[in-house]
Amino acid sequence: MSWRWPNEAKLALSLVVNVEEGAEQNLADGDRGPEPVDELGVMLKKPVRNYGNESNYAYGINEGAPRVLNLLQKYGMSATFTAAAVALERAPQVAQRIAADGHEVCAHGHRWAFQLGMDEARERQFIRDASVSIERTTGRRPVGWLSRYLHTGETRRLLVEEGYEYHMDDFSRDEPFMDRTYARPIVVLPYALDTNDMKMWNAPALMPRDWLQYLKDSFDCLYAESAARPRMMSVGVHLRIIGRPGRIVAFEEFLRYAASVRGVWIARRSDIAAHYRSAIG
């Protein structure tokens, strides 16, 4: 093992809060159809406004955001908010609170849209639009990027060329690594789907307590492995999902559990990427 986490920490814990509400597909924004994903699994075949689902997303801004932000403040924890830029434009109060509380904003697209199918010029503009917008709403240009899952084979190169420091579109490891393919190396900070609260959105019958136990088991396994090598755990949540009353309590219990264990570095992804880059040279 040639590098370590700061202060001899054993495990780096990355809390990722996705902010997508207001940037999803909507006929009102000129999209071909409404956002197809909601807690009932309804997929409309006709291009009509899905007002019920729009209000489901609005819940994330109105109720979920304060709950999540207050919880992080309560435990003094820093998180990375992966935000679709338009979502923050439309909820400036959320953008201001994220910045004021010292959290990081990572770009999650300009709109919450797939990059797959974009040509290079369009994708580059998509990245630039997100960068400019987030800097305008938060006062700081993002240094990390997370796509809406489906990106292109040119995404990482474009991110390097646009000055990004880290990329999250990877699920291959439980630790950072450096991609030296391009003119300037970029840190890859793998994300995780299994510990993501999206499972409770796609399968609402999944109980928060089951998700909580899975988080604890994942945490314990990675913490044990950290005796031999640096490990990183990602926990991804969404304002409209974890921000529900019956789910936020499970998230709080996990935060309390993680805080009770010595040798855990709970950090923003920008800090994890910077440390890793510095540590390996």
* 3-class DSSP string for the chain: CCCCCHHHCCEEEEEEEEECCCCCCCHHHCCCCCCCCCCCCCCCCCCCCCHHHHHHHHHHHHHHHHHHHHHHHHHCCCCEEEECHHHHHHCHHHHHHHHHCCCEEEECCCCCCCCCCCCHHHHHHHHHHHHHHHHHHHCCCCCEECCCCCCCCCHHHHHHHCCCCEECCCCCCCCCEEECCCCCCEEECCCCCCCCCCHHHHCCCCCHHHHHHHHHHHHHHHHHHCCCCCEEEEEEEEHHHHCCHHHHHHHHHHHHHHHCCCCEEECCHHHHHHHHHHHHC
Q: For a pLDDT cut of 70, what percent of the chain falls above it?
A: 100
Give CA–CA dist 260/281, Å, rounded: 32
Determine the pLDDT at residue 204. 73
Q: For a pLDDT cut of 90, what percent of the chain falls above it?
A: 89
Residue-wise pLDDT tens digits, 80-89: 999 999 999 9
Please name every residue paired with 167 in a beta bridge, in sequence order, or none if there are none: 145, 188
Residues near 78 by beta carbon (within 8 Å), at least 6 away in sequence? 15, 72, 102, 103, 104, 266, 267, 268, 271
How far apart, in Å, are the Cα atoms of 275 and each of 104, 230, 232? 15, 12, 13
Mean of the per-residue pLDDT values for the chain? 95
Determine the pLDDT at residue 40. 81
Structure token digits, residue 61: 């801004």
Model confidence at 1, pLDDT cuts 50, 70, 90, reads low
Domain ranges of the chain: 6-280
Residue-wise pLDDT tens digits, 98-131: 999 999 999 999 999 999 999 999 999 999 999 9
281 has a pLDDT exceeding 90:
no
175 has a pLDDT exceeding 90:
yes
**Mean pLDDT confidence for 91-96:** 98
46 has a pLDDT exceeding 90:
no
Report the CATH number of the 6-280 domain: 3.20.20.370
**Mean pLDDT confidence for 55-72:** 97
Give CA–CA dist 186/168, Å, rounded: 11
Residue-wise pLDDT tens digits, 244-273: 999 999 999 999 999 999 999 999 999 999
Query: Which residue, among 194, 99, 204, 188, has the nearest Cα to 151 in the 3D structure?
Result: 188
- Tell me the torsion sign for CA atoms 261, 144, 90, 35: negative
Determine the pLDDT at residue 64. 98
